[in-house]
Amino acid sequence: MSEEHRIIPVWFFVGVILLIYGILILATGIYEFHNPPSTVLANLHPALWWGVLLIILGGLFVYIHMPKKS
């Protein structure tokens, strides 16, 4: 799909959006350390861990499928 027409693979776009969302959610998770939301199990800091997971996965997708300069 990507070689013949040099289309940026869909996985790169997936990686970019997961990475951006990961950064935003991680930042929210850090802020919530001192201002926890009124949700159930907020003491587990789900935003923090979910943000880290999204950054790792998004980063991997972006790194592996980064469009190469010709």
Partner 1 sequence: MNLSLSFPLALLWFAAPDPAGAAKRLILLHPVDMAIIVIYFAMVLGIGFYLKRYTKSGEGFFLAGREMTAWVAGLSFISANLGALELMGWAAASYQYGILAAHWYWIGAIPAILFLGLVMMPFYYISKTHSVPGYLKLRYGESARGLAALMFSFMTVLMAGIDMYAMALVMKVVLGWNMHFSIWVSAVTVAIYVALGGLFSAIFNEVLQFFLIWFGALLIPILGLIETGGWSGLLARIHQNFPQGDYTHLWRSLGSFADNPMGIHWTGIVFGLGWVISVGYWTTDFLVVQRVIASKDIRAAKLAPIIGSYFKMAVPFIVILPGLLALAVLPFKLVPANAVGPGQHGFNEVLPLMLARYCGPGLLGLGITALIAGFMSGMAGNVSAFATVWTYDLYRPFIRKGASDSHYVKMGRTCTILGMLVSIGTAYLAMQFISIMDYVQALFSIFIAPLFGTVLLGMLWKRVTPAAGFWGLLAGSASSVTMFLLVKFNHSMLAYIALSSQAKDMAENMYRALWSWLICVIVTVVVTAFTKPKPVEQLTGLVYGCTELPSEGHLPLWKRPVFWAGVSLVLFLVLQWIFW
- Smallest separation, CB 70 to partner 1 (Å): 16
User: What is the C-alpha separation between 42 and 65, in angstroms, rounded?
Assistant: 35
Looking at the Cβ atoms of 5 and 69, the one nearer to partner 1 is: 5
Q: Is the dihedral of CA 19, 21, 24, 25 positive or negative?
A: negative
Residues of this chain that interact with partner 1 (CB under 8 A) are 1, 4-5, 7-8, 10, 13-14, 16-18, 20-21, 24-25, 27-29, 32, 36-42, 44, 46-47, 50-51, 54
- Smallest separation, CB 33 to partner 1 (Å): 12
Task: Give the residue among 27, 70, 68, 33 at the shortest CA–CA distance from 51.
Answer: 27
